[in-house]
Amino acid sequence: MIGSAEWFSPRKFGWGLGIRTKEGIIYVGAALLLMAAIFALPLPLDTRMLLGGGLFALLLLDTLHIMLSVYSKLDEREQSHQAIAERNSSYVAVACIVAYMAYFLISTGTPAQQLPTELAFPLVLLMLMAIAKGATLLYLEREK
């Protein structure tokens, strides 16, 4: 695609890519400048949104391609460390959700059956993310 996997490395904290070389810095800077330039053009808003969305989609696909290349080059030890980190982040996410729910229930005196519906979607989403990460890590641990 556009970027090269040699320009980036796996991030140590969080998810995604870290910049390794000056070419990576130039790539990110050029992407930001292109996006800013598109929205600064004297075109109708719909056209700018369409062009910006197209550029965003292209950069997203390129980033996913780079991430696949970067993470496929990890050795067994690094992959194991990534898996442990993902597992731990899942535990933290679940603990945060439980703590938030407990705080909400205690502070409002609301029975659990009457939780506001606006909390339902983010909580279900976060729980599904935690379950998916946990299931993946269990699979990876038992695969060895």
Share of the chain above pLDDT 70, in %: 75
Per-residue model confidence (pLDDT) at position 40? 94
Concatenate the DSSP letters of all residues of 47-100 into one string.
Answer: HHHHHHHHHHHHHHHHHHHHHHHHHHT--HHHHHHHHHHHHHHHHHHHHHHHHH
With 90 as the cut, is the pLDDT of residue 30 above it? yes
- Two tokens at 28? 């990110």
Q: How far is CA 108 from the centre of its chain?
A: 32
| C-alpha radius of gyration, the chain, whole number | 21
Q: SS3 of 130, please?
A: helix
Q: Residue 57: pLDDT band by 50, 70, 90 thresholds?
A: very high
8 Å CB contact between 29 and 48: no
Q: Convert the pLDDT of each residue in 77-121 to its tens digit.
A: 778 777 776 776 777 777 777 777 777 778 777 666 666 656 665
pTM above 0.75, yes or no: no
Per-residue model confidence (pLDDT) at position 22? 95
Q: Residue 17: pLDDT band by 50, 70, 90 thresholds?
A: confident
Work out the average pLDDT over 62-76: 87
